[in-house]
Structure 1
Amino acid sequence: MTLVKERPETVEEQAILAKKAAKKLSALTTEDKNEALHIIADELIQDYKYILEANREDLKNGKEKGFEEAYMDRLALSKERIEDFANGLREVAKLSDPTGDILSEWTLENGLNVKTVRVPLGVIGMIYEARPNVTADATGLALKSGNAIVLKGGSSAIFSNKAIVEVMHRALEKTKIPKEAVQFIASTEREATKQLFTMKEHIDVLIPRGGGSLIRAVVNNATVPVLETGVGNCHLYFDKDADVNKALSILINAKTDRPAVCNAAETLLVHKDWLKENHQVLQETLEKNNIQIHGDDRIVQLMKGAAPANESDWENEYLSLAIAIRVVDSLDEAVDHIDQYGTKHSEAIITENKETAEAFMRLVDAAALYHNASTRFTDGGALGFGAEIGISTQKLHARGPMGLPALTTVKYMMLGNGQIR
């Protein structure tokens, strides 16, 4: 099959091109950027067969390498999935452009006017794994917020990512945005990734999106500032006052809707009193939905077919139709478990007791907290941000699903009339 022409530039040269393009991009109007996003979306849908042809190469290679089913699901594209991320670009185009927003303004006693204004970060380095949709999602958010982007996808999606970028480049040639604003590092060598980690003079921020090992590698080795995203060891807590039907409906959605995504539930914490009354219907519901149970001692004794849980069951993402279940005696015990094993991503309590819910929301440290709702809503699209560039689990600059404002910083702009100090 035909691939994107290999760029002659080194990784550093690509970053320099992106930096120059970012300067031009920052001067464009919101209308210019929105028009470009619509043109990219149109081209992606028009050339979907080309992208699917490339994706088949990645799926073939993944099958030969024995990738797990959940990994293959993240890697796979279809006409519908391409239409989804094309429509995501159109949704981003509808969103308010944060650049140029005046966040605060005041005048000093000497007459000096001071404003803080949102401006683009500059050049974003995006490092991600097996999700080709991230190539389009991240590009759309970067361009709308006035940023250039350097993409470094995983080798497992190399054909798909190259094809998507080629289509986007063809689209950008019809717009005012220079195509150099979107750079794709085609090399699968680790050295190329390491270069991206250390080009502080050209890259303004790195955003890793993928598994825990990738994120740790970026955070531990980068000299470029990192917007840290996190894996999703998400918990549901069934309080003693949880409504049975509500609890089971939320559990099935959070676990089975898309088990391989980061906002899927991985651990269920159940108050002993609720379980005493409802263990039979819980077991039947899990069996009906083919969910494998890994439980603590009380669960193993109570629920047939439950495998004994070990430490790794509490720590890791299953990304499949499996769930860890632990019985707790109190809200405090549930919170302690989440503190120990949670990844500060998304945590939910199911209860009809308002005071208990408020205590849970106050005590649990996570980017997204839910009362009587599924963790699957921790998503930029679901929350009205359009496509998201990732879900931040850190506390500096941005937290939770990162939309357009997370890709900006501020400038202090002082307007004077000869004032001196």
Structure 2
Amino acid sequence: MTTDSLGAFDPISTLRSAHTTSLALAATSGVNRSRAVQAMAQALCRRQMDILEANTLDLEISREMAISDLLLEWLKLTPERIQNTVQILNRLSELPDPIGRVMPANFQVDRAQTYSQLMPLGVVALIYEAFPELSAIAAGLCIKTANCLVLRGGNEASHSNSVIAETLAQALEDEGLPIESVQLLPVESTPIRDLISQDRYLNLIIPYGRPSLVQQVVRQATAPVLRSAMGNCYLYWSPSGSLDLARSMIVDSHLSEPDPVNAIEKVLIHRQQNFSSLVMLWDSLREKGFEIRGDVNLVEQFPGLRLTEDVEWGQAYLDRIVSFRMVDGLTSAIDLINHYSSGHADCLVSESYQESRQFALGVNSASTYINTSPRFYRNPKRGDAIFLGMSNQKGHRRGLIGLETLTTVKHIVQGVGS
């Protein structure tokens, strides 16, 4: 952070220093950056009690301010959540360095060799509410990809964010990397609009939190935005699909912690669906703590069901609520999903291969899940990847937000001389 001669905070100077630092960071070796990520993990372990104490203070203040239960759950840190973050950073440190990876180019030039190479973006800004551990995960991803990270959290997590940012900066300094590589902007003196309009210094903005925050950033930003999405995922339960599989997919999709990124909140059913199976599904979900809602047709059939308002079909509940709606078939389901879904993870339960292909190709979403849970994992057990979240846009790197999302491609044309 940078202050002027009168002691006031100057966000422009902070972004300028991050931009300058990003040029130096891009020249560092992958080995040194991996060591720095590992050092960040170790530092979080050492300061776990300090972080938890700061988080307790944030929780107490937030409860007094009547912050919503949703944000309180996102805000809450536990030893397990901190250790999960440590595991993610340790695993990140062990992954291959993505920077400098050489790939064949999709064009050639006479008397020259042409190839592509992954390069850092430069300066990434994470604008987030609650989720204090997310700053450490984003820092790990950015350092691994030789990007500088600028953090702008919310008031509700100010103490937690401050301790975590100090911890990360100290680890970077201990490893010989510039502490300006990861910087936390103070909430009270950094309006979001002032930050996201600095396209001269920012190369990418990632908003993370409730849809209202994401939409605000998308509307006001002049720098590139990687829009993240959470909730309002759809499932079409075909008449040929298994009841047990539909139930398990819905329940499991809500279990990612603390943010059910790919939670199934809307279920479309065929008009010919067996109503006894539907009631069995509802009863099972209610036993798991879910609230069930339905469209006009279902409410007429089951008067005790709460009506889903029209506006709800395009909104995320971010809670254990599932709304059901009757459709004429797969084509109608695809049309509804493309109109109302958040567009990052939508699902199908069907025994028909033809339906599976039509759904996979017809749904306009970043990911489709067929007969399998869409549950989101930041640290999947298989594969070499760590994910920050999911993006539902068709622009920069749609889908899972991982290491390659924070890189760009440089084309290099090497001539052989005259």
* TM-score class normalised by the smaller sequence: over 0.9
Q: What is residue 336 of structure 2 aligned with on the other side?
A: 337
Q: Secondary structure at the match of 2:67?
A: coil
Quote the residue 1:262 is aligned against. 261
2:119–2:409 Cα contact (<8 Å) kept: yes
CA contact (8 A) 1:154 1:188 kept: no
Q: Are the structure 2 counterparts of residues 325 and 130 from structure 1 closer, same or farther at C-alpha, using a change threshold of 3 Å?
A: same
Name 2:231's counterpart in structure 1: 232
Distance 1:338 1:379, change over 3 A: farther
Question: Is 1:390–1:401's contact at 8 Å kept on the other side of the alignment?
Answer: yes
Counterpart CA distance in 2 for 1:258 and 1:390 is 12
How far apart, in 2, do the equivalents of 1:269 and 1:256 lie? Answer: 21
Q: Higher mean Cα deviation, 93-102 or 401-410? A: 93-102
Say which SS state the counterpart of residue 38 (structure 1) adopts: helix
Equivalent-residue separation in structure 1 for 2:364 and 2:409 (angstroms) = 27
RMSD over equivalenced CA pairs, Å: 2.2
Deviation at 1:6, TM superposition (A): 8.7
Structure 1 residue 108: Cα displacement:
3.0
Q: Is the 8 A contact 2:127 2:208 kept in 1?
A: yes
Offset from partner CA, 1:273-295 (integer Å, 9 cap, x none): 33334123113202211211111
Which deviates more from structure 2 when the two are superposed, residues 274-283 or residues 11-20?
274-283
Structure 1 pair 387–63 and aligned structure 2 pair: CA distance change class (3 A): farther
Structure 1 residue 411 displacement after superposition? 1.5
Aligned to 2:120: 120
Is 1:280 the counterpart of 2:279? The answer is: yes
Give the stretch that moved more between structures: 99-108 or 159-168. 99-108
Residue number in structure 2 paired with 1:63: 63
* 8 Å contact kept, 1:377–1:383: no
On the 8 A contact 2:22/2:122 being kept in 1, the answer is yes
Partner of 1:370: 369
The 5-angstrom pairing of residues 168-179 of structure 1 reads: 168-179=168-179
Q: Partners in 1 of 2:2 and 2:200 — Cα distance?
A: 27
Contact 1:346–1:378 (8 Å) recurs in 2: no
**The residue matched to 1:373 in structure 2 has which SS?**
coil
Paired residue type of 1:395: K
Stretch moving more, 231-240 or 379-388: 379-388
The 1:233–1:171 alpha-carbon spacing in structure 2 relative to 1, beyond 3 Å, is same
Summarize the alignment of residues 130-279 of structure 1 with structure 2, pairs less than 5 Å apart. Answer: 130-189=130-189, 191-255=190-254, 260-279=259-278
Comparing 75-84 and 16-25, the one that deviates more? 16-25
Secondary structure of 2:187's match?
A: coil
User: Cα distance 1:80–1:255, how it changes in 2: closer, same or farther (>3 A)?
Assistant: closer
Q: Is the 8 A contact 1:138 1:388 kept in 2?
A: no
CA deviation digits over 1:195-235, x for unaligned, max 9? 22122221111111122222222222111122222343101
Equivalents in 2 of 1:114, 1:357: separation in Å? 40
* Structure-1 residue corresponding to 2:109: 108
**What is the match of residue 20 of structure 2?**
20
CA change 1:145–1:258 in 2 (3 A) is closer
Paired residues in the alignment total 414
Which amino acid letter does the alignment assign opposite residue 327 of structure 2?
V
C-alpha contact (below 8 Å) 2:378/2:388 kept by paired residues: no
In the other structure, the counterpart of 2:42 is 42
Shift of residue 94 of structure 1?
Answer: 2.1
The 3 A distance-change label for structure 1 pair 256 and 100 is: closer
Q: Hey, what's the Cα distance between the residues in 1 that align with 2:2 and 2:125?
A: 21
1:188: Cα distance to partner? 2.6
Match of 2:293 in 1: 294
Question: Does the C-alpha gap of structure 1 residues 203 and 260 become closer, same or farther in structure 2, counting only changes over 3 Å?
Answer: closer
Moved more, 402-411 or 244-253: 244-253
Q: For residues 257 and 117 of structure 2, what CA distance do their matches in structure 1 show? A: 39
CA contact (8 A) 1:11 1:192 kept: no
- Can you give the 5+ residue segments of structure 1 that lack an aligned partner in the other structure? none
Whether the 8 Å CA contact 1:198–1:224 is kept in 2: the answer is yes
| SS of equivalent to 1:377 | coil
Following the alignment from structure 1 to structure 2, what is the Cα–Cα distance between the partners of residues 400 and 323? 23
Contact 1:258 1:264 in 2 (8 A): no
Distance in 2 (alpha carbons) for counterparts of 1:381 and 1:22 = 29
Scaled by the length of structure 1, the TM-score of the pair is: 0.92
Contact 2:377/2:387 (8 A) holds in 1: no
Question: How big is the shift at 1:61?
Answer: 1.7
Paired with 1:378 and 1:197, the residues of 2 have a C-alpha distance of: 28
Matched residues in 2 for 1:326 and 1:99: separation?
46
